[in-house]
Amino acid sequence: MSALGGLRLTSLAALLGARRPGVPRPAHPATGPGTALTVAGALDRARAAGHPDDVVAALARRLPGLAPDVQDEVVDPLGRAAALARAAGPAVRPLALGGARARQVDGTTCGSSVLGLLAAAGDPVLALWLVTGTALGAAPGPSADAAGRWRGLQRVVKARTGRGGLGPFPWPAALGTPPWGAARTARYAGVRYTHRVVDGAGAPAVLDAALDAAARGVPVPLFTGGDLSGGLAAAVPRHVVLLTAADADRSPSGVARSEDGEAARRGARRCWVYEPSSGTVHRLDAALLGQGARDAAVRRALGGWPHVVWALLPDA
pLDDT digits (tens, 9 = 90+) for 34-88: 357 899 999 999 999 999 999 999 999 999 999 999 999 999 999 999 998 887 7
Q: Which domain holds residue 226?
A: 2-19+36-314
Number of domains within the chain: 1
pLDDT band at 218 (very low <50, low <70, confident <90, very high): very high
pLDDT tens-digit readout, 165-206: 555 555 555 566 788 888 989 999 999 999 998 887 888 999
Of the two residues 225 and 110, the one the predictor is more confident about is 110
Q: Is residue 76 part of a domain?
A: yes
pLDDT of residue 265: 45
Q: Is residue 26 part of a domain?
A: no
Q: What does the mean pLDDT of the chain come to?
A: 81
Do the domain assignments include residue 243? yes
- DSSP per-residue codes, the chain: -HHHHT--HHHHHHHTT-SPSS-----PPP--TTTTTSHHHHHHHHHHTT--HHHHHHHHHHGGGS-HHHHHHHH-TT-HHHHHH-SS--SEEE-EETTEE---SSTT-HHHHHHHHHHHHH-HHHHHHHHH----SS-----SSHHHHHHHHHHHHHHHHHTTTBTTBPPPGGG---HHHHHHH--BTTB-EEEEE--GGGHHHHHHHHHHHHHTT--EEEEEE--GGG-GGGSSEEEEEEEEEEPPP----S---EETTEE-STTPPEEEEEETTTTEEEEEEGGGTT-GGG-HHHHHHTTT-SEEEEEEEE--
pLDDT score for 194: 94
Q: Is residue 109 part of a domain?
A: yes
Residue 29 above 70 pLDDT? Answer: no
Is 189 among the domain residues? yes
Q: Is the pLDDT of residue 240 over 70?
A: yes
27 within some domain: no
131 versus 143: the higher-pLDDT residue is 131
216 is a domain residue: yes
Single pTM value for the model? 0.84
> 131 in a domain, yes or no?
yes
